[in-house]
Amino acid sequence: MDTIVAISTSTASASGIGVIRLSGPKAKEIAQRCFFSSEKKIQSHRVYYGRFVDVNEHVLDDGLMVFMKSPKSFTGEDLVEISLHGNPLILSQAVETLIVRGARLARPGEFSERAFLSGKLDLMQVEAIAQLIASGSSEEARQARRRLDGKSSLLITQLMEKTTHLLAQLEADIDFPEEDIDPDVEDQLLQKCQELMDLSKTLLSSYAHIQKLSSGYHVLIAGLPNAGKSTLFNALLGSERAIVTDIAGTTRDTLEEEIWIEGRNIRLIDSAGYAPQTQDPIEKQGISRMEDKLKHVDLLCWICDVSDPDFEAAHKIFASVPPHRRWWIWSKTDLPSPLPPKPDLELDHVLGLSAKSGQGLEAFRQDLQKRFSTQVQDIEGGGIANDRQKNLLEAFYQSCFQTSQSIARHDSPELIAFELRQGYRNLQDMLGQDIDMEKVYDEIFSTFCVGK
Ligand SMILES: Nc1nc2c(ncn2[C@@H]2O[C@H](COP(=O)(O)OP(=O)(O)O)[C@@H](O)[C@H]2O)c(=O)[nH]1
Ligand SMILES: [Mg+2]
């Protein structure tokens, strides 16, 4: 097995420190040909200060080195981490030196691949590393961390155990092919299939939420012209992103910005005022864009000026959004106004605020946070997190469904077991057991960057 080397920190710009990783049987030996510490004997899991000397015997930099003896390391092999100053030039010179001294440059994802091959991580955990590093919100990172800890893998392992159990029961019957399955046993088998299907359904439903955590929850701010949409949009962003005037039709396009509320990533969309009768071609386009957005948003916040209430437009717009996805927001509550009538519409939530004075804004933020946090609470484990995992789990679900159909049809136990065994393969593939390494490399590791 080669000893591989790469820079594991970002090389896009300079930083305080940068870390180089070496993994393989000769990691320590090669490191000690370049990194010199006053301590002669390097022990495992200890930090040593020293100097890094390049091929021309010049001191390149000083820094720290840690040696982690196999199997107690990320890759499961002997592993060395050297931290030097984070200048990409210094780091790449150090890597070149280590290559001259006997290491080979790592391929993208090769450290993770070795962790996988040595059984330190399963495939879902490997995928979680990439997701953890790429997380755009703290909630997304938290879920990826749970997957990396093996929480989702455990659920898959439990599904595998239950499937094995069912298979054993079927296989017991295979020995008596001439007898029909006892009706009581048949009921039991069907129940077990149903349980497997229910468990995979629950896990599958986490996918949409996990995707939301990375793409963000889309919140559309809509309403009549001059309702105060852009003022609210700016207040939530904390910047004057959208132009605010008292001239109706100021916002003609949709504007999108990201905000974070309690670790959740929310995409706020400000839209053109809803004025279906407008003759202005630009405003018309703006409105049709807003209507397009309506179909995909997670929440519609309809802004209605409390000092000038109007319900007609809302009735039209609301027809295309289910009730649990629409909120009614009375704006400009700082203005003197009669107590507004309750809108004659089925709504999820009604609240009042003044984007100008700030009154009610914090409550609105909290409502948004609550609204979206309930959606992720029920992700057990860490859910499933990419198309590969989803497709395999769906295939497993289908196999369980076919198995139950097959049982109900009184097919031969062999046939029934065959179907279920196919399903079992899908679970194995999720974790990367008995898998074709070349295919896995192309699909997964090659998408990583070097050093991971
Ligand atoms: N008094 C008061 N005026 C507001 C408030 N929000 C917006 N406005 C005013 O209402 C007008 C229209 O605001 P704007 O945000 O451009 O509305 P939009 O057309 O819905 O985007 C501007 O003159 C704002 O200053 C508010 O909370 N209180
Ligand atoms: Mg506007």
Q: pLDDT per residue over 94-104, tens digit each?
A: 999 999 999 99
- Which one-letter amino acid corresponds to residue 120? K
CA distance 219 to 237: 13
CB proximity list for 94: less than 8 A, separation 6 or greater: 20, 34, 52, 54, 60, 61, 82, 84
Residue 452 lies in a domain: no
Ligand 1 pocket, mutate which of 220, 221, 224, 226 (most atoms under 8 A from CB): 226
Q: Closest Cα to atom 7, ligand 1: which residue?
A: 228
Closest CA to 16 of 85, 113, 102: 85
Tokens of 277: 């009768």
Q: Does residue 223 form part of some domain?
A: yes
The pLDDT score that the predictor gives to residue 324 is 87
CA distance 296 to 416: 41
Residues 55, 102: one domain? yes
Position 195 in a domain: yes
Who lines ligand 1 at CB under 6 A? Answer: 223, 225-231, 244-246, 250-251, 273, 331-332, 334-335, 354-356
- Kindly report the protein residue whose alpha carbon is nearest to atom 10 of ligand 1: 228
Structurally, how many domains does the chain consist of? Answer: 3
Stated pTM of the model: 0.78
Model pLDDT, residue 379: 65
Residue 365 lies in a domain: yes
**Which of 135-149, 216-230, 272-286 has the least mean pLDDT?**
272-286
**Can you spell out the DSSP letters for 3-41?**
-EEEE-S--SS-EEEEEEEEESTTHHHHHHTTEEES-SS
Mean pLDDT of 127-138: 90
In 293-406, at which residue ranges do the beta strands (DSSP E only) sit? 299-305, 326-331, 349-352
- Are 75 and 138 part of one and the same domain? no
Q: Is the pLDDT of residue 423 over 90?
A: yes
Ligand 1 atom 19, closest CA: 226
Distances (CA, A) of 220 to 79, 177, 323, 326, 342: 50, 61, 15, 10, 22
Q: Confirm if 355 and 331 have CB atoms less than 8 A apart.
A: yes
226 CA closest ligand 1 atom index: 19
For ligand 1, the distance from its centroid to the CA atom of residue 14, given in whole angstroms, is 45
Question: Is 6's pLDDT higher than 60?
Answer: yes
Atom 8 (ligand 1): residue with closest C-alpha? 228
Domain co-membership, 206 together with 227: no
Q: Are residues 101 and 14 in the same domain?
A: yes
d(CA 195, CA 362): 44
Q: Is residue 437 part of a domain?
A: no
Determine the distance separating the centroid of ligand 1 and the alpha carbon of 253, expressed in angstroms. 17
pLDDT in tens, 272-321: 888 877 788 887 787 788 888 888 899 999 999 998 888 888 888 888 88
- What's residue 47's pLDDT? 98
306 and 266 in a single domain? The answer is yes
Pick the residue with more confidence: 332 or 215? Answer: 332
Residue 93: is its pLDDT beyond 70?
yes
Question: In this predicted structure, what is the pLDDT of residue 309?
Answer: 86
Whether the CB-CB separation of 242 and 257 falls below 8 Å is answered with: no
Kindly give the distance from the C-alpha atom of residue 35 to the centroid of ligand 2, in angstroms, as a whole number: 61
Ligand 1 atom showing the smallest separation from residue 335 Cα? 1
**Is the pLDDT reported for residue 178 higher than 70?**
no
Domain boundary among 97, 120, 143: 120
pLDDT at 252 exceeding the cut of 80: no
Residues 190 and 234 in one domain: no
**Which ligand is closest to the CA of 228, given by its number?**
1
The ligand that comes nearest to the alpha carbon of residue 225 is 1
Nearest bound ligand to the CA of residue 231? 1
Residue 176 lies in domain: 125-212+386-432
Range 377-394 average pLDDT: 84
Q: What is the pLDDT of residues 19-64, one digit of tens each?
A: 999 999 999 999 999 999 999 899 999 999 999 999 999 999 999 9
In a domain, 440, yes or no: no
- Residue 447 resides in a domain: no
pLDDT band at 243 (very low <50, low <70, confident <90, very high): confident
pLDDT-based confidence at residue 145 (cuts at 50, 70, 90): very high
In a domain, 240, yes or no: yes
| C-alpha of residue 234 to centroid of ligand 1, in Å | 11
Does 447 have pLDDT greater than 80?
no
Find the CATH number of the domain harbouring 274. Answer: 3.40.50.300
Same domain, 153 and 55: no
Q: What is the pLDDT of residues 49-59, one digit of tens each?
A: 999 999 999 99
The pLDDT value given to residue 61: 98
Regarding whether 363 and 415 lie in a shared domain, the answer is: no
User: How far does Cα 317 stand from its chain's mean position?
Assistant: 32
Claim to verify: residue 168 and residue 315 sit in the same structural domain: no
Give 112-166 as a DSSP string.
HHHHHHTTSS-HHHHHHHHHHHH-SSHHHHHHHHHHHTTHHHHHHHHHHHHHHHH
Cis amide prior to 71 (ω within 30 degrees):
yes
Q: Could you tell me which residues come within 8 angstroms of residue 164 by beta carbon, excluding any fewer than 6 positions away?
A: 424
Which of 103, 120, 137 finishes a domain? 120
* Same domain, residue pair 136 and 232: no
Question: What's the pLDDT band for 374 if we cut at 50, 70, 90?
Answer: low
Q: Are residues 55 and 148 in the same domain?
A: no
Nearest residue (CA) to ligand 1, atom 3: 332
Protein residue whose Cα sits closest to atom 26 of ligand 1? 332
**Identity (one letter) of the amino acid at 330?**
W
pLDDT at 220 over 90: yes
Query: What CA–CA distance (Å, rounded) separates 147 from 97?
Result: 37
Which residue would you say has higher pLDDT here, 425 or 216?
425
Q: Residue 86 sits in a domain of what CATH number? A: 3.30.1360.120
Q: In this structure, which amino acid lies at residue 393?
A: L
Domain boundary among 69, 99, 120: 120
Token look-up 């499961």 returns 76
CATH number at residue 163: 1.20.120.430
Pocket test for ligand 1, best of 221, 232, 234, 244 (most atoms within 8 A of CB): 244
User: 349 and 263 share a domain?
Assistant: yes
Place of tokens 């030039």: 89
Average pLDDT of span 113-130 = 94
Centroid of ligand 2 to alpha carbon of 372 (angstroms)? 25
Question: Distance of CA 368 to CAs 206, 210, 263, 284, 286, Å?
Answer: 20, 18, 12, 30, 25
**What is the C-alpha separation between 9 and 13, in angstroms, rounded?**
10
Dist. CA 331 → ligand 1 center (Å): 8
pLDDT higher than 80, residue 441: no
Write down the pLDDT at residue 445: 81
Ligand nearest to the CA of 272: 2
At CA 156, angle to CA 262 and CA 394, rounded to 5? 90
